[in-house]
Amino acid sequence: MENSESNAICSPSRVVSTSNENEEKQTSCIRFLISNAAAGSVIGKGGSTISEFQTQTGARIQLSRNHEYFPGTNDRVIALTGSVDEILRAFNCIFTKLYSEVLPQFSQEKSLDL
């Protein structure tokens, strides 16, 4: 993610609701780092997993491009944007997926190193 792009994506903003002009919806963003392997798991084949998570939760989920790592790491940046409830639902989907797929592989690799 380019710095100016990520700031624009994650800047808090007020969006007028389309259902009632008197109601306003607060949009928030959270960013965190995940390994490249974990990013692949979140994206899924052809983007199917990330699309499914976005549809289920209403949050926008964006990842830095492949080989675009957070400075000084080999980790990618993931940004979740939406209402607090949408972000929490997306966070839950992502971590449930990672817990079931990536964590067992990581644990197995570490036990082989012993």
Give the residue among 93, 106, 102, 32 at the shortest CA–CA distance from 63: 32
Q: Look at residue 22 in the predicted model and tell me its pLDDT.
A: 43
Residue 30: strand, helix, or coil: strand
The architecture (CATH level 2) of 3-113 comes to: 2-Layer Sandwich (3.30)
pLDDT band at 37 (very low <50, low <70, confident <90, very high): confident
Residues of the chain with pLDDT > 90, as a percent, come to 59
| Residue 81 scores a pLDDT above 60 | yes
pTM: 0.70
Q: Cα–Cα–Cα angle for 85, 45, 41, nearest 5°?
A: 55
Residues of the chain with pLDDT > 70, as a percent, come to 68
Quick one: CA torsion of 47, 53, 5, 67, rounded to 10 degrees? -40
Residues 102 and 38: beta-carbon distance below 8 Å: yes
